[in-house]
Amino acid sequence: MAETILVLNAGSSSIKFELFEVGAEDRLDSRFAGQIEGIGVKPRLAVKTASGRVLVDRPVPLDDAADVERALAVVEAWLEAELEGPLTAVGHRVVHGGPRFAAPVRVDETVLATLETFVPLAPLHQPNNLAPIRELLRRRPELPQIACFDTAFHRGHGELADRFAIPERLWEEGVRRYGFHGLSYEWVAGRLAELDPETARGKVIVAHLGSGCSMCALAGGRSVESTMGFTALDGLPMGTRPGQLDAGVVLHLLTAKGMDAAALERFLYHDCGLKGLSGISNDVRVLLASSDRRAKRALDFFTYKIAQMTGWLAAALEGLDGFVFTAGIGENAPTIREAVAHRLAWLGMRLDPHANGAGGPLISAAESRIRVWVIPTDEERVIARHTLAFLRGRRPGEGA
């Protein structure tokens, strides 16, 4: 009977999952992927095979998926009916590893308690990432659960990149720049090395553009700088998060506007970004389709900031050889890619219109000084690889 690894990525209103079978020479084959979305509102379970065949697509009674824990039970019940044997292990995406965790770790009660202390650093993500881990620990303590961290890929930064200009005691307490979307950047760095080894060995910027957005500077495939910092609020404007923001604005909201910490947290995580700037939507597809001038302004601001951050990251790299678009917007919005390239023409970036419209993977024109790629991300496969490596006793980065 083949070993199987389940990958879970739990959010506030959905649980994404993918099942991998371990084949010969530890090859990982995806059997199916799916999600239960609309948790607590209008739950629905949908699963497809790797070839795209629909296995299930049905509504779930609200009482059965009123929260993440109960939704997990729905997923488990479906898996038990589908699988011929028990799971070998479960790999989880956990956004924040704090100063403690720089590599995947098997979660027990002690590790879970430590991860819970990082909730204030990622209040939008961490509680939901940990909810299924806690539930599985309670009901199936014998099942290996491996936490894989979005912050881990950035832990090799130089000290100057990770510091704030604040007293040393706060650095020692863990107040520093961490960077996020590391599982995505790890995948993209590996794929770029396969597609374009020469560029991958050089200086590359990756733009992870989705509901959450960040950019990462890679030197020889390793992260040296990222636009996100202490939390996932920093850097680029996002769907509902503001990105780079003068700390004085926060003080103003606390004092002049009378916001308390809870109201401020909700405002910064849910009411800003493209949603706040446009007053229309946090969805780039909606904004692109709108004729409202506010939608155009929001998208212009978005691409302006991407270009601005490119200059900052290029300075950290002391040059630029390649640029990669990834994640939902980066992979599927040629208009956004075109606008970014137009703003970066001063760097010698030129796109091939036909290749860009087709989604690449190589979208730069022949005369472009910078090689530009579109590389779909695959965080779930990275998590599965780390989980299998942990089970085999290999260190991160070691092959089979």
Fold exhibited by the domain 192-245+271-377? Nucleotidyltransferase; domain 5 (3.30.420)
Q: Which residue has the tokens 């940990």?
A: 130
**φ, ψ for residue 253 (rounded to 5)?**
-65, -35
Strands ordered across the beta sheet of 222-226: 222-226, 213-219, 203-209, 322-326, 371-374
Tell me the per-residue pLDDT of 152-204, one tens digit each, with 9 for 90 and over.
999 989 999 999 999 999 999 889 999 999 999 999 999 999 999 999 999 99
- Does the annotation count 150 as an active-site position? yes
Q: How far is CA 34 from CA 16, 340, 374, in A?
A: 6, 32, 24
Tell me the per-residue pLDDT of 98-144, one tens digit each, with 9 for 90 and over.
888 999 999 999 999 999 999 988 887 899 899 899 989 998 999 99
Residue type, 225: E
Report the distance separating Cα 154 and Cα 205, nearest Å.
Answer: 14
Q: Which residue has the tokens 């004729």?
A: 291
377 exposure class (CB count in 10 Å sphere: 0-12, 13-18, 19+): buried
- Specify the pTM: 0.92
Task: Name the active-site residue from 29, 63, 64, 150.
Answer: 150
Instruction: Tell me the CATH architecture of domain 4-149.
Output: 2-Layer Sandwich (3.30)
Per-residue pLDDT of the chain (400 residues; tens, 9 = 90+): 789 999 998 876 788 999 999 988 899 999 999 999 888 888 899 999 988 999 999 999 988 888 888 888 898 889 888 888 889 999 999 999 988 899 999 999 999 999 999 998 888 789 989 989 998 999 899 999 999 999 999 998 999 999 999 999 999 988 999 999 999 999 999 999 999 999 999 999 999 999 899 999 999 999 999 999 999 999 999 999 999 999 999 999 999 999 999 999 999 999 999 999 999 999 999 999 999 999 999 999 999 999 999 999 999 999 999 999 999 999 999 999 999 999 999 999 999 999 999 999 999 999 999 999 999 999 999 999 999 999 988 765 554 4
Ramachandran class of 107: left when φ > 0, alpha when ψ lies in -120 to 50, beta otherwise: beta
Strands ordered across the beta sheet of 28-37: 54-59, 44-49, 28-37, 14-22, 4-10, 89-94, 145-149, 105-106
Domain limits, CATH 3.30.420.40, in the chain: 4-149, 192-245+271-377
Upper half-sphere CA count for residue 123 (Cβ side, 13 Å): 13
Report the distance separating Cα 34 and Cα 50, nearest Å.
Answer: 10
Report the distance separating Cα 369 and Cα 306, nearest Å.
Answer: 19
